[in-house]
Structure 1
Amino acid sequence: MVRKLKIQRENDKTFKDGFEEFIDSCKARNLRPATINHYQESYKSITRFLDEQMLIKDIKQSTVDNFVRDCKDKLDISSQTLFTYTRDLKTILYYFMRMEYMKEFKIKLPQVDKKAIETYTDAELKILLKKPDLKNCSFVTYRDWTLINFLMSTALRLNSFINIRIRDLDFENEVVYVNTTKNRKPLIVPLNKTIIKILKEYLKVRQYKDENDYLFCNVYGNQLNKKTINGSLIRYNRERGVTTTGIHRYRHSAVKRLVLANMNPVFIQKLLGHSSLLITQNYINILVSDLKQEMKGFDILEQFNNGYIKISRGR
């Protein structure tokens, strides 16, 4: 008996079938492995409330609305996480729409509660940026101090700075070439004179043999991984009595000081590697709201008026 092959019609595709095709498309477009892994992890959360055996042709606006409502009612998640789940679902469904597996409709993303961006205070930075005694500190401590100065100077993301090699430093032109970025677009980041001086001294202590070596390494000279450097900087902070931690906090702190220095938003956009000025502007707006919180209760005129202002009454 000859077994007939079952040919799946396009309008019989399930959400699961379509998602597997979507992932293949992501790989074909050479998206970053981290991005593909993100979608695969998000799929697990999405299919808690959306049946993966549902036919794609049956997905409609009410399907998305019910998904958002169920996530809000049944999961203890932040507005940002809800936004992320819905955004990922939207990306997948828009792929289905382009492939004409389902009818087109607009998907509106839920609002995100804006939270103040956390930064280090001036007092904390004064402690963290104080140079350790080279005669008595370990290489790791000295490396972390150098790294913190580097982060405050460049505002780079973790995945960018751990992939910088010594050859990427250009002291003559006072820049560093950043080849690993979130959007895969290389950056040329300026280096100030202080960080150049710090890096030159650091390279003497590091004692590298090959310019292809990574700039920031572990005690064996190998590339740092995210877990190692996160743990190391947490210890660095706590040993100095700074309880607040976080590598990204240095990025926020650097940008905050650029804002206070009235730097051009276009320059900040290029420094941060944002794809659009709108993203940078939203970032700055949140930082400004953070500044408003810090100014709460502070009256700059009070010291000049002894708490009151005399009003002369004219005739």
Structure 2
Amino acid sequence: MNNYELQVENFMLYCSSRNLSQKTLKSYEQSLRLFGLYLSDVFQITDVEKVKSVHIRKYIQYLRERGKYTVSRNVMANDINFPQNRTDFSKPISDSTIANYVRNIKVFFNYLYDIEKEIKQNPVSSIENIKPLRKQKTLLEEDELIKVLRQCDTTTFYGYRNWVIIRLLLDTGMRISECLSLVPEVLDFKNKSILIQNPKNNKQRYVYFSHRMSSDLKRWLLYRDRYSNSDYLFPTIRGTQLEVRNFEKTLREIGKRVNVSIHPHQLRNNFAKYYLLHGGDWATLSRILGHSSVEVTQKAYLDFADKEVGEKYQRHSPLNNLKL
């Protein structure tokens, strides 16, 4: 194990001690291992003290030029996953992905400089964060949502389960990972609320469901209890926790059948936009979504299309609502 690898290992132990989510840990390790491979192959650098800002800038340029999945930190994994068979193999890496790589590298070297004092000069001090252009989030039309829901075969356990999940995501704005980890005990039908344990920051918050969703959930619980003794609210047929990637795949396939591009996070986005379009306020929305501040929420959901702005205007126009 060389010096760079040793420092990455130490950094990962530090991150684990801070109870960061598995998703964050995986992102850090993947980014840093790939950067380490680049440093070793291109510059023969295996010591963190020898890394300079020019190496990081060269790496950013390299990321923009190379394609997706053309480099792996685990060669054996390529023989199992066959990345060359992916439809997006060798396509350009998105600015969002590159921004994430750079952000992770900066966290690592800031750790080495500020906390561990392992390096005398910080190579990331002059590296600016990459700010990718935000893609406008698509607002699904009512008829599109109806088409998707009608594709769920509610005569089957998994079809009925998926139908309820889709409606719950749209009604509450919770993350799919939060939804699939729910247990019945967190449902409060009296206050129509659900207690969420946020895996991203280990904080708790409440999301709320409608009267119609309350009926849906009560019927689902009766159905579920007849066919499963699982601890989870939305288990697999075997009673285990439904994995996010499996539900994502199922939802994409449902959408393809009716020519609707849809994924779980899009339902969270649509909840937020419909909430605002129907008169909801930013502060309440921010709390429901579990964002750290109202500013974070506004940055995420200010990208309304002209059509959406026009429709909201018609609902709130002074002349339409005042008897003048």
Q: Which of 217, 221, 224 pairs up with 2:235? A: 217
Tell me the residue number matched to 1:110.
Answer: 130
1:31: which partner in 2? Answer: 20
User: Over alpha carbons, which structure has the higher Rg?
Assistant: 1
Alpha-carbon contact 1:128-1:237 (below 8 Å) kept: yes
Percent identity between the two aligned chains: 23
Aligned position for 1:49? 38
Letter in 1 for 2:250: S
Matches of 2:149 and 2:268, distance apart in 1: 14
Q: Which residue of 2 aligns with 1:125?
A: 145
Counterpart AA for 1:62: V
Unaligned runs of 5+ in 1: 1-12, 301-315
The equivalences for 1:218-237 within 5 A come to 218-237=236-255
CA-CA distance at 1:243 after TM superposition: 3.3
Letter in structure 1 aligned against 2:271: A
Cα distance between partner residues in 1 of 2:216 and 2:151: 10
Q: Secondary structure in 2 aligned to 1:97?
A: helix
Q: Deviations along 1:64-114, whole A, 9 cap, x unmatched?
A: 222222222344211111101101110101101112222243431122122
C-alpha distance in structure 2 between counterparts of 1:74 and 1:242, whole Å = 32
1:50 is paired with a residue whose SS is helix
Partner of 1:256: 273
**Alignment partner of 1:183 is 2:196:** no
CA distance in 2, matches of 1:87, 1:133: 43
Partner of 2:74: none
Query: What is the match of residue 321 of structure 2?
Result: none
Structure 2 unaligned blocks of 5 or more = 68-91, 315-324
Aligned CA distance change for structure 1 residues 118 and 68 (closer, same or farther; 3 Å): same
SS at match of 1:207: helix
Q: CA deviation at 1:276?
A: 2.5
Contact 2:20 2:201 in 1 (8 A): no
Say what the alpha-carbon RMSD is for the aligned residues: 2.7
Aligned with residue 210 of structure 2, among 177, 192, 210: 192
Alignment check: 8 A CA contact 1:159 1:180 kept = no
**Which position in structure 1 is the counterpart of 2:76?**
none
Distance 1:208 1:179, change over 3 A: farther
1:36 is displaced (CA, Å) by: 1.5
Match of 1:243 in 2: 260
Segment of structure 1 superposing worse, 221-230 or 94-103: 221-230
In 2, Cα distance between equivalents of 1:294 and 1:281: 16
Q: CA deviation at 1:182?
A: 2.3
Give the Å deviation of 1:210: 9.2
The amino acid that maps onto 2:18 is R
> Hey, what's the Cα distance between the residues in 1 that align with 2:159 and 2:21?
32
For residue 90 of structure 1, the aligned residue among 74, 82, 106 is 106
Q: 2:184 touches 2:232 (CA, 8 Å); kept in 1?
A: yes
- C-alpha separation in 2, matches of 1:69 and 1:293: 38
Q: Which amino acid aligns with 1:179?
A: Q
Comparing 143-152 with 60-69, greater Cα deviation is found at 60-69
Q: Secondary structure at the match of 2:38?
A: coil
Name which of 42, 47, 63 aligns with 1:71. 63
Letter in 1 for 2:280: M
Indicate whether 1:163 and 2:186 are aligned. no
Distance 1:206 1:19 in 2: 45
Q: Secondary structure at the match of 1:109?
A: coil
Note the C-alpha offset of 1:227.
3.3
Normalised by the length of structure 1, the TM-score is 0.79
Which amino acid letter does the alignment assign opposite residue 264 of structure 1? D
Question: Which whole-Å CA distance do the structure 2 matches of 1:262 and 1:294 have between them?
Answer: 13
Counterpart amino acid of 2:96?
Answer: Q
Return the TM-score normalized by structure 2: 0.77
Distance 1:211 1:172, change over 3 A: farther
Could you tell me which amino acid in structure 1 is paired with residue 6 of structure 2? D
For residues 295 and 230 of structure 1, the distance between their equivalents in structure 2, rounded to whole angstroms, comes to 30
Other structure's SS at 1:259 match: helix
Cα displacement string for residues 41-62 of structure 1 (whole angstroms, at most 9, x for unaligned residues): 1123323433384432233332
